[in-house]
Chain A
Amino acid sequence: MGDLLQGTLELLVLKALTLEPMHGWGIGNRIDQLSRDVFQVQQGSLYPALQRMLRKGWIRSEWRVSDHHRRARFYRLTPAGRRELARRSTEWRRASHAVDGILRVRTAEGA
């Protein structure tokens, strides 16, 4: 899948962070894995998105030593982020369900 909608990328980042705090590269990698490479996160758009989400208060960042014994910036979900994830997930499912329904309708031309 090519360009991700900005909102979708944020949803995926929020989801990726539910398990544990992660650094930027890890988030991108996790999204690729979880979507079985259907979504290839544009790495260049990930960091601006994280910056925006910091401002919205959905995530917090802190510097920690990673598994590789290197200092890295880790992002974790805030309670506001969790609420946002729940809201976005419901919204996504409803929209996805609706689109599904539309695509299943048989039309005169046949589908």
Chain B
Amino acid sequence: MSVWSDTAERLRALLRRGRAETELDEELRFHLEREVEARVRAGADPAAARRAAVLALGGLERVKEDVRDARGTRGLEDLAADLRYAVRALRRNAGFTAAVVLVLGLGIGAATAVFSVVDAVLLRPLPFPDAGRLVLINERNSPTNTWNISTADLTAIEARQRSFDAVGALRRGEAALAGAGTPRRVGVARVTSGVFAALGVQTERGRLLEPGDDAPGAPSVALVTHPFAVRVLGGADSAVGRSLILDGIGYTVVGVIARDAGLGSLPIPAEIWPALQVPPPVRRGPFQWIGLARLKPGVSLDAAARDLAGISRGMMGLYADWHDSTAALTPTPLKDAVVLGASGPVNLFAAAVLLVLLAAVANVATLLVVRSAAREHELAVRGALGASRLRLARLVLAECAVLTGLAGLAALGVAALGLRAVALLAPDLPRLAEVGLHGRAGAMLFAATLASGIVIAAAPVAAVLAGRAGTGARPEHARAGGGRRANRLRAVLVVAEFALALPLLVGAGVLLNSFVRLSHVDPGFDPEGAVSIQVSLPVARYPGEADIQAFWSRLEAGVSALPGIGAAGLTTALPPGDGGDEDNFNLVDHPVPAGAAEPVSPWLYVSPAYFAALGVRVQAGRDFAAADSGNAPPVAIVSRAWANRYLPGEDPVGRQFVQGGCYSCPHTTIVGVVGDVKYDGLAGDGVAAYGPLAQSFSRTASLVAHTRLAPVDAFRALRQTVAGLDPDLPVVEATPADLLEASLADPRRWTAVLGAFAVAAMALAALGVFGLMSYVVRQRRRELGVRLALGAAPRSLTRLVLVRGMRYALAGTVLGLALTALEARWLAALLFGVSALDPVTTAAAAALLLAAALAACWIPGARAARVSALEVLAAE
């Protein structure tokens, strides 16, 4: 047997199907003529001969069918015919088709978009060579308390570690870039050469940082990103060798970081990467570097952790300022650190989308089951005309295939739009730049489409195959029997839709609850009429404490003298969402046990007018005063929450503590108590301690002013005041009211997103139960008519329908409660002041869902009451 002749014959049959059919006709006609002729010659009557000839052939149509089968193109031809038929049938029911394509397309599209996000953010490794070996190194004294490493840590690790190929330190921040137009703030990340060595990042022009650049006193050099080189330095080629002035210090650009280096995946919005020069440590702190390292091949995280813990033990006793023996250097996979905050919301989002997809599939499946039941008659006729069950099943399958194919196309558009929405809704999402409709997302879309197709096709195809549709045997009886079984399936789908809708409603409900609570939280300050500008003083022009203090005093005095400006004060951190620095302390009256970690509190440094400018009330003791200067005894003001936590039931004013582990310094005295300001977001606890700005060494501070002016005018006046003091200083403007508003943006977004999903799922569930009960009413018209004829009240028929529909809704809602418990885990992190399983919210969500179900059942219920007994019985 030849493959060629086989293929050639099949192809010929397929491509020239019309001609093959004509030839078959002609060949068989010729055959019959010869046969009749032979029979007549043998003496038969012509009419009888013709009958006998056809009989001998065994039926003209049957032979034709057999020959068609023998051509071997049957499958393809039938498929084409089935698809043509399906398209025709779907076009006749444009509304049904549109509904299915829309519902399924939205479900699959949303699932694909969300998969792209999960894949890019959580699943794919960071875009560095062998990124699984990259770790962050932190100090840690409990699983939840970690902080940065210090110069002493870095020096010790570099000297003694055996687990890493490369170790580096970096600190991200901002710097004033001068000499290139208006002075402005740019993102910088100061790094030791080990950082690029660990990441495996290359330059496209010039050189990388080298160990020699890390040494104190080495020339100041920096790398720049490709976009910065193009935008500011006139292209990558001309960038190398150029000089940049950052915070008053000149840096030479020695290289341009390659465009595909993957630094964009890190939460470091830096355009300039200056070399970090690390002087020899004099004490254990301060802890200001992010430690980054690359594990040696084959070295496990545990082995590295043991190595680092050994180094920590070796450092105990070396520095007088350090007594915390529970703290140890600890490695964390870099990816975990990068995506840490995102995994909760992303998982929640993914779960919500998956639930909606499942509800959409369940709904479409219900629609198809109902539709296939409505077509029982048509299929029965086709069956009677000789179509096999297999053939009928293929017709139904083809229709499902066309539907899901269209839905898949729609999903592609939905996914593309969805990803744009993600970029708008979650601009802070880590690794956002890597999110896109890549190959894996395409595969996901295909798989989801295929799976949905299989699910929605399963029931109608199974019904046909089992002969429940299209048998043609006693339609009335078949309808009753098939109906009951199909109804059970439909009921299961409807129950599932309600079970899926409840967790989404509860989730949206508790998020809304949490959002409302959050927006009613007292921020602890009065944003009305307050404006602020932030200024950073570069070391080069303000080398000493005296220069810094002098500038702050002049700024405060200059602004206070402006017309229309009331109180104006300085602070190192602005509420909300700017936690500022932290410091450790040890109360003299209640010292921590020897060897235990000292408590750590947010710590701000403010000038005397700050509390007045922001409308924060001094509740006890006194405000800072001009007398609290650098030479005066150290003082502090604490928040009410601070006092309640660390000095419960005592009068905090007059208490003393050792600050920052400096046991040789004079004790700090608490002189006042102020209201709780939410620096750490509105959900924060308001615990904070304040020191006088004059007793600190802060190069960066915000000036807060209370003003009657419009913000635009106030900012112009403030900018002019700063420029009058130093024209090279960039100024960052903000109003506390905007900051307050921005701090609510995330909760509002999550509430809106989950709310939209919840409403969609509820609508799908209501649609599902509406479809099912409508079908049941149509199917049982006769029974309802008989009941009416026998004297049943129309209202009792309505109640019959409602009770049955609500039974499904109730069963689904109860099942949904179990799913809600699963969801709670992801929700908890997003909630404020309300539990993920808040009983009131849960009850309200369930009530809303059941109300929607009741409304959806009402229409078929009312229709049941309107059934005309006469009409139904007459139709029998």
Mark A residues whose CB is within 8 Å of B. Answer: 23-26, 29, 42-45, 47-49, 51-52, 54-57, 63, 66, 68, 70-73, 80
Establish whether residues A43 and B56, one from each chain, have CB atoms under 8 Å apart when the complex forms: yes
Contact with A along B13-41 (1 / 0, CB 8 A): 00000000001101110110111001000
Q: Which residues of B450-503 have CB atoms within 8 Å of chain A's CB atoms?
A: none
Residues of A within 8 A of B63 (CB): 43-44, 47-48
Assuming the contacts A72-B30, A73-B27, asked whether A52 and B57 have C-beta atoms less than 8 A apart, the reply is: no
CB of B1 within 8 A of chain A? yes
Residues of B within 8 A of A44 (CB): 57-59, 62-63, 66
Establish whether residues A52 and B70, one from each chain, have CB atoms under 8 Å apart when the complex forms: yes
A-B contact pairs, 27 of them (CB 8 A): A24-B31, A26-B34, A43-B35, A43-B56, A43-B57, A44-B57, A44-B58, A44-B59, A47-B24, A48-B66, A48-B67, A48-B69, A48-B70, A51-B67, A54-B5, A55-B6, A55-B70, A56-B2, A56-B6, A57-B2, A68-B33, A68-B34, A71-B26, A71-B30, A73-B23, A73-B27, A73-B30
Contact with A along B58-76 (1 / 0, CB 8 A): 1100110011011110000
Residues of A within 8 A of B24 (CB): 47
**A-B contacts, CB under 8 A, total:** 79
Establish whether residues A47 and B66, one from each chain, have CB atoms under 8 Å apart when the complex forms: yes
Residues of A within 8 A of B33 (CB): 68, 70
Establish whether residues B58 and A42, one from each chain, have CB atoms under 8 Å apart when the complex forms: yes
Cα–Cα distance between A13 and B33 once the two chains are bound (Å): 21
Q: B71 CB to closest chain A CB, in angstroms?
A: 6
Cα–Cα distance between A52 and B35 once the two chains are bound (Å): 23
Query: Chain A: which residue is nearest B60 at the CB level?
Result: A44
> Which of A23, A54, A73 interacts with B9 by CB under 8 Å?
A54
Contact with A along B719-730 (1 / 0, CB 8 A): 000000000000
Assuming the contacts A25-B34, A44-B63, A48-B63, asked whether A72 and B27 have C-beta atoms less than 8 A apart, the reply is: yes
Establish whether residues B70 and A25, one from each chain, have CB atoms under 8 Å apart when the complex forms: no
CB of B284 within 8 A of chain A? no
Contact with A along B422-445 (1 / 0, CB 8 A): 000000000000000000000000
Cα–Cα distance between A68 and B35 once the two chains are bound (Å): 13
Cα–Cα distance between A1 and B541 once the two chains are bound (Å): 116
Cα–Cα distance between A71 and B31 once the two chains are bound (Å): 11
Establish whether residues A47 and B67, one from each chain, have CB atoms under 8 Å apart when the complex forms: yes
> Which of B5, B30, B67 interacts with A25 by CB under 8 Å?
B30
Residues of B within 8 A of A47 (CB): 24, 27-28, 31, 63, 66-67
Residues of A within 8 A of B28 (CB): 47
The 10 closest A-B pairs by CB, nearest first: A57-B5, A44-B58, A51-B70, A57-B2, A48-B66, A25-B34, A48-B70, A55-B9, A56-B1, A25-B31
Residues of A within 8 A of B35 (CB): 25, 43
Establish whether residues B4 and A57, one from each chain, have CB atoms under 8 Å apart when the complex forms: yes
Cα–Cα distance between A73 and B19 once the two chains are bound (Å): 13
Query: Chain B: which residue is nearest A41 at the CB level?
Result: B56
CB of B782 within 8 A of chain A? no
Residues of B within 8 A of A51 (CB): 67, 70-71
Query: Chain B: which residue is nearest A28 at the CB level?
Result: B31
Residues of A within 8 A of B31 (CB): 23-25, 43, 47
CB of B10 within 8 A of chain A? yes
Residues of B within 8 A of A49 (CB): 70
Q: B11 CB to closest chain A CB, in angstroms?
A: 11
Cα–Cα distance between A5 and B125 once the two chains are bound (Å): 64
Cα–Cα distance between A29 and B6 once the two chains are bound (Å): 27
Cα–Cα distance between A56 and B9 once the two chains are bound (Å): 9
Query: Chain A: which residue is nearest B2 at the CB level?
Result: A57
Q: B647 CB to closest chain A CB, in angstroms?
A: 96
Query: Chain A: which residue is nearest B37 at the CB level?
Result: A68
